[in-house]
Amino acid sequence: MTAHPSGLVTEAFEAQRDRLRALAYRVLGSHADAEDVVQEAWMRLVRQDEATIGNLAGWLTTVVGRISLDLLRSRQAHPETAYGHEFADLVVTPADDPAPDEQVALADSVGLALLVVLDSLT
C-alpha cells in the first residue's frame, strides 16, 4: 500500500525540486534524465515513512545523488548507440557554421554556466 506524504512534505519537496534537478543534471548532463531522477526520488519519498526522515533536504539530496550515479553507471555498462549513428559521415554541413556536435557542446556549456549563475543568486 502506498503512503501519501503530508502537505508539508509535498511543499518541502516542491521547494527542493529545482535544486534536485540541477544536481541530477550536473551528474548526468541531460535535462530529461535529471527530471526522471527527480520523479524517481518523489516516488521513493511517497513510499517512505516521513517519520523516519530527520532532514528532508539531506535525504532528497542523497537519494537523487544515488539514483543519478546508478543511472550513470548503467550508461557506462550498457552504452547506447544513437539512431542514425551509421549515417553520421554522410551529413554535409557548411564549412562556415560550427558542426552540430560543437553546437551541442556550446549549448551544454552555456546551460551549465547559467546553472552556476542561478545557484549563486539568493
97 versus 45: the higher-pLDDT residue is 45
Q: In the predicted model, is pLDDT for residue 95 greater than 90?
A: no
| Three-state secondary structure readout of 75-101 | HHHCCCCCCCHHHHHHCCCCCCCCCHH
- The answer for residues whose C-beta is within 8 angstroms of residue 21's C-beta and 6 or more apart is 31, 34, 35, 38
- The answer for residues whose C-beta is within 8 angstroms of residue 39's C-beta and 6 or more apart is none
pLDDT at residue 7, rounded to an integer: 81
Q: In the predicted model, is pLDDT for residue 6 greater than 60?
A: yes
CA 64 vs. chain centroid, Å, equals: 9
Per residue in 28-77, pLDDT tens?
999 999 999 999 999 999 998 888 988 999 999 999 999 999 998 888 77
Rounded distance between C-alpha atoms, residue 13 and residue 18, angstroms: 10
pTM across the whole model = 0.59
Mean pLDDT of 79-102: 63
> Using N-to-C axis directions, what is the helix angle for 56-77 and 31-47, rounded to 10°?
130
